[in-house]
Amino acid sequence: MSISAGYVVPHPPIAVHEVGRGDEEAIRATLDSYARVAEDIAELRPDTIIITSPHTVMYSDYFHISPGISAHGDLGAFRAPQVTFDVDYDTELVSEIVHRCYLQDFPAGSEGERERTLDHGVMVPLYFINKVYRDFKLVRIGLSGLSLEAHKNLGQIIKASVDSLGRHAVFVASGDLSHCQKEDGPYGYKPEGPVYDRQLMDTLRAGDLDALIGFDGELLERAEECGHRSFCIMAGAFEKEKVDINTLSHEATFGVGYGFAIIKPMDKSREEDRAADPYVALARYTVERYVREKRIPGVPSDTPEELKTKRAGVFVSIHENGLLRGCIGTISASYDSIAEEIISNAVSASTKDPRFRPIEEEELSYLDISVDVLGDTEDIASERELDPKRYGVIVTNGMRRGLLLPNLDGVDTVTEQISIAKQKAGIRPSESVSLQRFEVVRHE
């Protein structure tokens, strides 16, 4: 067992209904993302939740790890004293982390606690988690004034400690983003605020946790963020692991950035698929994630650069036991990358092809998936310029347009190819059409 998931979450007290008293609806995306995070944790059923918070005890040159066997807190400071929390600490894991820090002469431990009560950087995430899951113990860790690299190093020690004890744990990196997003916000506006938030969310979408350590210190200071060091600790906990990162939402309704992401170690079978063909691996990963979780994943961290930088039309085809089960695609690029094109079309092919019912979870192990990356289309004057094994065809009559991919089983002649393409477009056999052809690179 190890750290099976990480979560980037904000901690706005107004998100708690008893605090917001209806005003929380203004940040509905944040509420929905918190519900998804809580549900994900409930599905994993961890023994221990590790939370790093910028609002617990913090020193300039030392990381504080909360001691004791339990802690209590409430949201009285935010006009909701009736919202209370009681947690039991994972004392064995705390001791293991502290011991490893001592052996490595690393500046962290359980000394110097100034406030035993839980802080809102911990309580806000727990408010949502507790709604669906309570069977866990807690480890609460503060940030420090030390370097981003030192925060990553602490994450590495935390992971080693979890592994040595065989804990099943998840990591909640609590932290708001920039606090200076709007003129009418509580902290005013600085241009560095939106810049930081975009850079942070783009880094997560790219799946590059290591890049968090390289953020410019002056940007962090001027953006008035509070969570970046929390995210760096989590990055250390996943160092050297291939991960999938799913960014959920970002908003700054009240002038403070609230961002969400779910980080999970990559499934070993997906690593094998990726080694065989990254195009097919991405399509299969998307289908499986969407069918099981009804969530559209982000572009995984290990996606090759050519999929992240090139653009093209893409078709995703799904067969089950040799029979077509779904096929959806785009003639030309609709997204900024082939990877995003594959993700979108894999979701549509598996659940939105009008010819078939949506694929169900029990079918996943029986699917064959192929990905066709389309080349440029070219106008042709006659059928003589077609070859059904080499070229796909596009037929057009007015607003009606039909496409058929090349090299399909059972399509051996140009006449058959054009006839099927016309049927798909709702064009009668007797109607004339203009023709285009294209080549594809097929991944299967």
Question: Does residue 82 have a pLDDT over 60?
Answer: yes
**Looking at residue 266, what is its pLDDT?**
77
From 352-356, 358-362, 363-367, the region with the lowest mean pLDDT: 363-367
Over residues 51-68, the pLDDT tens digits come to: 999 999 999 999 999 999
Over residues 198-236, the pLDDT tens digits come to: 999 999 988 889 999 999 999 999 999 999 999 999 999
Over residues 381-433, the pLDDT tens digits come to: 989 999 999 999 999 999 999 899 998 888 989 999 999 999 988 999 999 99
Which one has a higher pLDDT value, 257 or 288?
257
pTM of the entire structure?
0.69
Nearest of 81, 3, 5, 72 to residue 37 by alpha carbon: 5
Question: Does residue 306 have a pLDDT over 70?
Answer: yes
pLDDT interval class at 244 (50, 70, 90): confident
pLDDT interval class at 322 (50, 70, 90): confident
185-217 exposure pattern, b = at least 16 Cβ within 10 A, e = fewer = beeeebebbbebbebbbebbebbebeebbebee
- Give percent above pLDDT 90 in the chain: 80
Question: Does residue 124 have a pLDDT over 70?
Answer: yes
**Looking at residue 273, what is its pLDDT?**
58
**Looking at residue 206, what is its pLDDT?**
81
Looking at residues 172-184, what average pLDDT do you find?
96
CA distance 231 to 9: 9
The burial of 294, by beta-carbon neighbours within 10 Å (0-12 exposed, 13-18 middle, 19 or more buried), is given as exposed
Looking at residues 39-57, what average pLDDT do you find?
96
Over residues 270-289, the pLDDT tens digits come to: 556 555 789 999 999 999 88
Question: Does residue 303 have a pLDDT over 90?
Answer: no
CA distance 44 to 6: 11
The rounded mean pLDDT for the chain is 93
**Looking at residue 174, what is its pLDDT?**
98
CA distance 15 to 20: 6
CA angle 101, 129, 230 (to 5 degrees): 35
CA distance 184 to 428: 60
Count of C-beta atoms within a 10 Å radius of residue 130: 14
CA distance 6 to 246: 11
Could you give the angle at which helices 28-44 and 120-129 cross, rounded to 10 degrees? 70
**Looking at residue 141, what is its pLDDT?**
98
Which one has a higher pLDDT value, 242 or 92?
92
From 74-83, 189-198, 290-299, the region with the lowest mean pLDDT: 290-299
pLDDT interval class at 95 (50, 70, 90): very high
pLDDT interval class at 177 (50, 70, 90): very high
Question: Does residue 1 have a pLDDT over 70?
Answer: no
**Looking at residue 366, what is its pLDDT?**
85
pLDDT interval class at 268 (50, 70, 90): low
